[in-house]
């Protein structure tokens, strides 16, 4: 039997990355495999992408902190991985390779971006596929352009797939491509994990119309586990055909100055103000490095135990974010309140109530 744990978005663009990881590192180190989503490029060069609100490149040296926390695999298909252009992706992948961290979801071209990551802890072959469902399309890889692995979702206004659009329906060709890639991975994998960068940012208890159909399609095609990220706030957990879908892991470790209004980058400063109007929230001023929706202080780490290629246990560990943004395990009544929050958030989004029981510090989910 092996144990896999899952973290949401990872952004480490401030000094002392080991400090920011320290609260959750004991959990990631204890697992046979820890998987997270690396949100931004790690580079000191590259050209800023025009057409979206770009994230700054993080220090490549910070990636070593992930290795020290024994995070062995990351998904890369997200809306910011191409924000420093081809050079940012090249530098990020080169450092991940040097550290021995497996990765999927971005590359110098479409072929590399679509390539799965594979590790075999204790001889169990785990394959990760990573898809960017939110765009922007200018960040997607093509045969001649570096970028993330694309998954087209139709916008209600008929425009391109982009993070702030009202995204409603998956493109049939993208569904077919994902199904083929999962089927290919299934032939040699003991466990297939599909990571989807999806959802509506900064809005509590909401699932866009395409999220459940795409997640179900991944499991129908042979995925064992589906994990979602991008919204920067936790979503519910769904059991579908006996397999888990973590619809939104929320923030894993996100510490950044990029969302602070007090900065000299006009586009980022403007977005920091505009998103508050769009989503109707005011960040807690104590969270200078994680100025998200106030409910984003509720978080989780997912866990699956695998025996003979079958998910035999699904669970989550409630975490919270201490000011100015460091995640820490929740305990006692706080952990209970966060577990309740995650369950209620799922129900408000149309999911069934969780069949959950406590097992020490973890909440087991049956279904």
Per-residue pLDDT, averaged over 74-92, amounts to 97
Q: Tell me: the pLDDT tens digits for 308-328?
A: 999 999 999 999 999 999 999
Helix (H) or strand (E) holding 75: strand 73-75
Q: Residue 53 has what pLDDT?
A: 77
For residue 26, pLDDT beyond 70: yes
Domain that holds residue 22: 2-366
Percent of the chain with pLDDT over 90: 89
| Phi, psi of 285, deg, nearest 5 | -65, -15
CB neighbourhood size of 181 (10 A): 22
Question: What CATH number is associated with residue 349?
Answer: 3.60.21.10
Helix, strand, coil percentages, rounded to 5, for the chain: 30, 30, 40
SS (H, E, C) 196-258: EECCCCCCCCCCCCCHHHHHHHHHHCCCCEEEEECCCCCCCEEEECCEEEECCCCEEEEECCC
Per-residue pLDDT, averaged over 251-260, amounts to 91
Residue whose tokens read 């990351």: 74
Q: Residue 188 has what pLDDT?
A: 97
Rounded distance between C-alpha atoms, residue 219 and residue 59, angstroms: 36
Percent of the chain with pLDDT over 70: 99
Rounded distance between C-alpha atoms, residue 270 and residue 265, angstroms: 9
Per-residue pLDDT, averaged over 265-293, amounts to 89
Number of domains in the chain: 1
pTM of the model: 0.97
For residue 268, pLDDT beyond 80: yes
- CA torsion 91→92→94→98, rounded to 10°? 130
Give the closest residue to 104 by CA, choosing from 189, 207, 25.
189
Per-residue pLDDT, averaged over 214-233, amounts to 98
For residue 230, pLDDT beyond 70: yes
Do 347 and 236 touch, CB atoms closer than 8 A?
A: yes
Q: Residue 183 has what pLDDT?
A: 98
Give the closest residue to 283 by CA, choosing from 254, 306, 309.
254
Higher pLDDT, 258 or 94: 94
For residue 71, pLDDT beyond 80: yes
Per-residue pLDDT, averaged over 21-36, amounts to 98
- DSSP alpha helix (H) spans, the chain: 17-21, 25-30, 63-68, 85-99, 110-113, 172-186, 211-220, 266-279, 332-348
Q: Residue 270 has what pLDDT?
A: 85
Q: Residue 50 has what pLDDT?
A: 67
Do 103 and 76 touch, CB atoms closer than 8 A?
A: yes
Q: Residue 89 has what pLDDT?
A: 97
Residue whose tokens read 């279904």: 367
- Of 37-51, 63-77, 161-175, the range with the lowest mean pLDDT is 37-51
Per-residue pLDDT, averaged over 145-168, amounts to 97
Q: Residue 126 has what pLDDT?
A: 98
Q: Tell me: the pLDDT tens digits for 125-154?
A: 999 999 999 999 999 999 999 999 999 999
Per-residue pLDDT, averaged over 236-260, amounts to 95
How far, CA to CA in Å, does 308 sit from each of 122, 169, 227, 266?
Answer: 12, 35, 21, 53
Residues in the chain: 367
Instruction: Name the band, by pLDDT with cuts 50, 70 and 90, for residue 16.
Output: very high
Rg, Å, the chain Cα set: 18
Higher pLDDT, 33 or 46: 33
- Indicate the average pLDDT of the chain: 96
Beta strand segments in 109-190, E: 117-119, 126-132, 147-148, 153-155, 167-170
Per-residue pLDDT, averaged over 67-87, amounts to 97
Rounded distance between C-alpha atoms, residue 2 and residue 224, angstroms: 14
For residue 51, pLDDT beyond 80: no
For residue 263, pLDDT beyond 80: no
How far, CA to CA in Å, does 57 sit from each of 61, 80, 84, 300?
Answer: 12, 10, 7, 26
């Amino acid at each position: 039997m092996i144990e896999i744990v899952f973290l949401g978005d990872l952004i480490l663009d401030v000094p002392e990355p080991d400090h920011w990881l320290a609260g959750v590192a004991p959990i990631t180190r204890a697992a046979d495999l820890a998987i997270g989503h690396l949100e931004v490029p790690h580079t000191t060069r590259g050209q800023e992408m025009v057409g979206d609100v770009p994230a700054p490149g993080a220090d490549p040296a910070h990636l070593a902190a992930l290795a020290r926390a024994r995070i062995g695999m990351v998904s890369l298909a997200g809306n910011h991985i191409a924000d420093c252009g081809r050079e940012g992706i090249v530098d990020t992948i080169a450092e991940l390779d040097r550290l021995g961290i497996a990765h999927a979801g971005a590359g110098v071209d479409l072929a590399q971006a679509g390539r799965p990551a594979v590790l075999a802890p204790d001889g169990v072959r785990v394959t990760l596929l990573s898809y960017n469902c939110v765009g922007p399309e200018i960040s997607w890889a093509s045969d001649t352009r570096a970028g993330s692995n694309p998954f087209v979702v139709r916008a209600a206004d008929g425009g391109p797939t982009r993070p702030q659009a009202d995204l409603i329906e998956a493109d049939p060709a993208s569904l077919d491509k994902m199904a083929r890639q999962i089927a290919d991975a299934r032939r040699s994998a003991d466990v297939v994990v599909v990571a989807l960068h999806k959802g509506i940012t900064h809005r509590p208890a909401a699932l866009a119309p395409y999220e459940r159909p795409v997640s179900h399609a991944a499991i129908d095609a042979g995925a064992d586990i589906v994990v979602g990220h991008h919204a920067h706030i936790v979503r519910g957990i769904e059991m579908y055909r006996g397999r888990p879908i973590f619809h939104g892991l929320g923030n894993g470790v996100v510490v950044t100055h990029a969302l602070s209004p007090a900065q000299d980058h006009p586009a980022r400063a403007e977005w920091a103000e505009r998103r508050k109007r769009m989503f109707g929230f005011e960040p807690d001023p104590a969270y200078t490095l994680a100025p998200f929706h106030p409910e984003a202080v509720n978080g989780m780490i997912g866990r699956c135990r695998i025996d003979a290629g079958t998910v035999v246990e699904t669970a989550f560990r409630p975490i919270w974010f201490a000011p100015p943004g460091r995640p820490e395990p929740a305990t006692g009544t706080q952990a209970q309140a966060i577990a309740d929050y995650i369950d209620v958030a799922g129900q408000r989004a149309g999911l069934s109530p969780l069949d959950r029981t406590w097992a020490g510090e973890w909440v087991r989910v049956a279904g």
